[in-house]
Structure 1
Amino acid sequence: MTSLPYLPHGTHLLADLSGVAAASLRDCAALEALLRQAAIEAGAQVLHGHFHSFGQEAGVTGVLLLAESHISIHTWPEAGFAAVDIFMCGTARPQLALDIISTELKARYSTLQTARRAPPGQA
């Protein structure tokens, strides 16, 4: 029997960050760097990323594929709002990743939904 490198158990965070300066939500390169930093500091391994700017004054959508699952962000600078989705399994710490992102974006308000993910009967 082969042991799995990552157990199929994890935490999935859905965060709405608001009261964020519009300039912070438009910078595609800075958002990618921030999510990469958050993933690494949370103990995750980044496999691949893709980020897209919708234009100079518009928002960004981006995702990092992780060995432990993913982090994604979608921003609306005109509303000072970012939707962040973080799912990590294994020993990675998704709450730490979210704390780094929220702190760096200087979000004034946030709401969080948390779900434990696991196969049936193994939660």
Structure 2
Amino acid sequence: MVQNLGRHILGEYYGCDPEVLNDPERVERLMKEAAVVSGATIVQSVFHRFSPHGVSGVVVISESHLAIHTWPEYGYAAVDLFTCGDSVNPWTAHHYLAENLGAERTETREVPRGVLDVDGPLRHKPVAVAV
């Protein structure tokens, strides 16, 4: 049976609030909140503000990652929401971010990741790995 290990949402966020997009602390807080509301477990995060403007960052979650790159001068953010397993809903994170970044419009594409032909249930965290 064909199954996939993860879901990867590629998000384009247009017409966002430039002040939010240029504030690394606020962007990091929103990304962490998006992870939590989606059901993810946060491992670590790293964010950086560029000069003269723009923020890039990633929230590593047990189930994969959430990443963002912002262009405040264009009111634009590119967001990747990659989750594995069935316990996290990346669409919940997407909707939370769209609202809180003030996006006027979004475009998304969901890409299945790790598409495998396996018998039985797909285990996201195997007990043992053959080397």
Q: Report the TM-score when normalising by structure 2.
A: 0.83
Number of the residue aligned with 1:3: none
Q: Given the alignment of the two structures, is residue 44 of structure 1 paired with residue 34 of structure 2, yes or no?
A: no
Task: State how far apart, in whole Å, the 2-side matches of 1:83 and 1:119 are.
Answer: 24
Amino acid corresponding to residue 68 of structure 2 in structure 1: I
Distance, in Å, in 1 between the alignment partners of 2:75 and 2:37 is 25
Amino acid at match of 1:120: L
> Cα RMSD over matched residues?
1.7
1:68 corresponds to: 63
The equivalent residue for 2:126 is none
Rounded to whole Å, the distance in 2 between the matches of 1:114 and 1:26 is 26
1:87 matches 2:94: no
* Structure 1 outlier segments of 4+, above 2 Å: none
Partner of residue 100 from structure 2, selected from 71, 91, 104: 104
SS in 2 for 1:10: strand
- Partner in structure 2 of residue 5 of structure 1: none
Deviations 1:72-120, CA, capped at 9 Å, x for gaps: 0000001110000000112101000011000101100111010122342
Aligned residues: 116
> 1:18 — aligned with what?
14
What CA distance in whole angstroms lies between the structure 1 residues aligned with 2:48 and 2:24? 7
| Distance apart, 1:68 and its partner CA | 0.2
In 2, Cα distance between the equivalents of 1:47 and 1:119? 25
Q: From the CA coordinates, give the structure whose radius of gyration is larger.
A: 2
CA deviations on 1:8-56 (whole Å, 9 max, x unpaired) are 622100000010121110000000000000101111001010000003x
SS at match of 2:26: helix
User: Pick from 14, 24, 27: which aligns with 1:28?
Assistant: 24
2-side partners of 1:18 and 1:36: how far apart? 21
- Measure, in 1, the Cα distance between the counterparts of 2:96 and 2:17: 16
Amino acid paired to 2:73: E
